[in-house]
Each structure stands twice: as C-alpha cells, then as structure tokens.
Amino acid sequence: MIGVIIAYQLFKQPEKINQTSSLNFFYLIIAIAFFTFFISFLLLYFFLKPLIQFVNKTQKLPILAKSPSEEQKSITHDFNQISEIFDNVANILSNVEAKELFPHIIGSSASMRNIFTQIIKVAPTDSTVLISGESGTGKELIASSIYERSTRKGKPFVKINCVAIPEGLLESEFFGHEKGSFTGAIEQKKGKFEIADRGTVFLDEIGDMPLATQAKLLRVLQEKEFDRVGGTKPIKVDIRFIAATNKNLPEMIKNGTFREDLYFRLNVFSINIPPLRERKEDIILLANYFMKILPCKLRLSDSALQKIIDYSWPGNIRELKNVLEQASILNEDGVIKPHHLPAIIWQNAPDISNPDYRMPINDKLNLIEKEIIIEALRKTGGIQVKAANILGINQRSLWHRIKKLDIDINTFKNLQ
C-alpha cells in the first residue's frame, strides 16, 4: 500500500522523480508490479467466474454427472477437463438439434450430423443434388429430407427407380407418349417429368440408366424441355432434380457406360453417405429403433450387441433391419443372443463360454474383461465416470482399458 501511495505521488508530481531516493524508486517498481498483478487478477476473475459457474452446473447434470468418489475434486484448475466439458455439451446440443430437425432419420454420428448440415444448406436452393452411397445406406430418406425442407414442398415429389423400369419403357415413363406412338399406346399418357412440373424428381439408381436415355435426360437438365414419345411439340417443365447412385460414376465414365456431361450436370451438389461400418456409433441407435417397431418386446444381450457392433454390415441399414427381424423370430424370453444372429455375424467370433474352446489365458481374460466393460458402458450410456464407478476402478484406468481392448465408446453415447 505504501508503494502504491508513493507511486501515485510520483506520477502526480513527475518532477520529483529525480529527487527520490533509491528506496522510493524501488517502492515505485514494486507498486507498479502489484498494480499490474491486481488488474490482471480482476480481469481473470471476471472472465473465469462465469466459465467456472457453467462448468460446475454442467457437472450436476445427470448426463455429465461425476462419480461420488470424484465429487470432492475441483475442476476449476483443470483446463483439459473444462475443454472436455465443452466438447460434451456441444455434442449433446448438436444431437438435440439433429433429432429436432430430422426426427425421421436415426443417426447421431459426426458424419451424419455433417450430412444434416449439408441438407439444410442445399434444400432451399434449386440446385441439382447427387447422393452417393452403398446400397442400404438410406439415400432415398436423404432425398425426401431435402424435398421436405425445400421451397417446393407441397408440390409434386416424383420418385423414379431407374432399375425397376424395363429399358424399353423407361422413356415412356419419363416423357410420356402420344396415342398410337407404339403398339399398345391406345391413348395419350403424361410422363413422370410432366407430372412433376414445378416440383421435384428423385432419380434413384441413376447409374443404371441406359446411355440413350441419358442423352435425353441431359436435354431436360439443360433446356428444361422434352418431347413425348411420338410427339413433335416440346413440353417445357420446371423441375428440381435429385439423383442417387450406389455406383462409382467417375469409373463408369472411364468405361464409357455413363456420360461425362450428364455427370457434371447432376453433380452440382454432392452428398456422400458413409457406410454403417464407418459410423458404428449409429448401430445401437438403429438397432434400438428397429426393435421398438417389432411386434414383440426385445432386447439385445451384451454379447449379441458386441457382435453387431463388430460386424462390417455390407448391406448397411437394410441388412441390420432384416437381421434383427430374423433374430426376433428365433429369440428366447425376449432376449436376442449371438446364436440367434446369422452365422456370418458370429461364426468367426470365439465362444469363450465353451469349456472345450482352447485359447491363451491372456486372450480369454481380455475377452471377458471386454464383455464386462461393454456391459457397464451400455448401462451408463457411455458415461465413463459412471461406468468406472460401477466397475470399482478410477476413470483413468477405465480409459486405458477401453483403448487397450479397442472399444468404440461413441457407440454407447446417449443410450440410457
């Protein structure tokens, strides 16, 4: 305090600075240092106070709750934990937003949330969209979501599967035909494009469209007009196109089976849906959803759950749905166990419960430990502090075990 007073007097009367003793000058330096420290402390306090309050409040939420053994530990000085809290909160808010905006699409993985963002951006425009992805990933559902959020909602939404229609009838289905234009054309018929005027057309499996039809589709995309089969008068249309494919169109262009100019017309805005094996955190959400809509009440055993997570799902969501429906028929007492699943899913996995099965003891112990940890994570919705409390170990130890056993923690998030 003395130093502060001296410093104030010296700054008030600078001409006396040269007259001060070396001691007073020392006090001046000390005063400046303390004054700077005091101001810095105030700034940090007012900045960190709301941050600390926010973190402490989030710790009390059930979804982020700490285990009783850790309640006495302060987190205010642990910036890594503060960062983790913010990441968790951001993830929760993002999941809530996804469920609110796209309640009919089951998926909370980062890749699916990125697709939701793309849908929100492209839907209000009239841009042509090309959706790519393996069979069974839900391309039609994404196309419907784009239509539902577009300015053309309420106007025609015409879906055309390019594989389901025979090649000889494809042009008639697209463009319609005039009476007498071919054998069996007993009356004039409007095509899908004419019906969809001012609306949206979804062309599924566009990679299976014949080259001759591709050329005529290109004209519709470029000039917004076409002729009916057997007609001579061009018909103008206003259509927004969404196309989908499970094929590699650039590779087809190299092979001469798909037109390059059509590809560039379709690929104005592209959305790629990742396969289910690349977003394993969505598998349990989808499995729970499918089991809820089945006639009987079911649940997956922990061992069956792990088999489902580990499987690669080449048929994606469609295959998962079919597998669970089949298992529901074979289930015992409302519980789906590994042997209720198709052999391809469990046949390569060891049955450690079989006393005749030979395995090194360390490997067998690792498998048993993995099953126990998975059960705890499933019960706690992937909240590691709660799972660690159930298992009677600290969170750091659980984290190391999860890494060692290659357990994907994201698959258990928000499943309570």
Q: What is the CATH number of the domain that holds 297?
A: 1.10.8.60
Are 158 and 298 members of one domain? Answer: no
> pLDDT value at position 18?
52
The residue ranking higher by pLDDT, 273 or 358, is: 273
Strand 225-226 vs strand 235-236: parallel, antiparallel, or unpaired?
Answer: antiparallel
Are 114 and 252 members of one domain? Answer: yes
Asked if 271 and 246 count as a contact pair (C-beta separation under 8 A), the reply is no
Strand 189-190 vs strand 176-177: parallel, antiparallel, or unpaired?
Answer: antiparallel
Confidence check: pLDDT of 160 > 90: yes
Percent of the chain with pLDDT over 90: 33
Confidence check: pLDDT of 44 > 60: no
Among 105, 126, 160, the domain-final residue is 105
Are 120 and 266 members of one domain? Answer: yes
Strand 189-190 vs strand 235-236: parallel, antiparallel, or unpaired?
Answer: unpaired
How remote is the C-alpha of 43 from its chain's centroid?
Answer: 39
Rg of the chain taking only CA atoms, in angstroms: 32
Residue 295: pLDDT band with limits 50, 70, 90: confident
Dist. CA 143–CA 203, nearest whole Å: 10
The residue ranking higher by pLDDT, 8 or 286, is: 286
Lowest mean pLDDT among 84-88, 181-185, 311-315: 84-88
> pLDDT value at position 378?
76
For the segment 172-183, the average pLDDT, to the nearest whole number, is 79
The residue ranking higher by pLDDT, 192 or 87, is: 192
Supply the range of the domain harboring residue 224. 110-275
Are 130 and 213 members of one domain? Answer: yes
Q: How many CB atoms lie within 10 A of CB 145?
A: 20
Residue 259: pLDDT band with limits 50, 70, 90: very high
Are 221 and 174 members of one domain? Answer: yes
Are 27 and 133 members of one domain? Answer: no
Are 86 and 122 members of one domain? Answer: no
Dist. CA 386–CA 409, nearest whole Å: 13
DSSP 3-state of 226? strand
Exposed/middle/buried for residue 256 (C-beta within 10 Å: 0-12, 13-18, 19+): exposed
Confidence check: pLDDT of 394 > 50: yes
Residue 223: pLDDT band with limits 50, 70, 90: very high
Residues across the chain: 416
> Residues near 184 by Cβ (< 8 Å), separated by ≥ 6?
none
The residue ranking higher by pLDDT, 181 or 106, is: 106
The residue ranking higher by pLDDT, 71 or 171, is: 171
Among 275, 303, 322, the domain-final residue is 275
Are 258 and 404 members of one domain? Answer: no
> pLDDT value at position 64?
46
Confidence check: pLDDT of 43 > 90: no
Are 53 and 118 members of one domain? Answer: no
**pLDDT tens-digit readout, 349-373:** 555 555 555 557 776 677 778 778 8
Residue 185 region by backbone torsions, left for phi larger than 0, else alpha for psi between -120 and 50, else beta: beta
> pLDDT value at position 72?
44
Q: How many CB atoms lie within 10 A of CB 305?
A: 22
Are 67 and 133 members of one domain? Answer: no
Are 205 and 127 members of one domain? Answer: yes
Give the position of tokens 């053309």: 152
> pLDDT value at position 218?
94
Strand 129-132 vs strand 269-272: parallel, antiparallel, or unpaired?
Answer: parallel
Are 132 and 262 members of one domain? Answer: yes
The total number of structural domains in the chain stands at 3
Among 50, 76, 105, the domain-final residue is 105
State which H helix or E strand residue 306 sits in.
Answer: helix 302-310
**pLDDT tens-digit readout, 332-352:** 788 888 888 888 887 655 555
Q: The CATH number of the domain where 165 resides is what?
A: 3.40.50.300
Dist. CA 299–CA 337, nearest whole Å: 9
Confidence check: pLDDT of 318 > 60: yes
pTM tops 0.95, yes or no: no
Residue 66: pLDDT band with limits 50, 70, 90: very low
**pLDDT tens-digit readout, 45-64:** 565 556 556 555 555 544 44
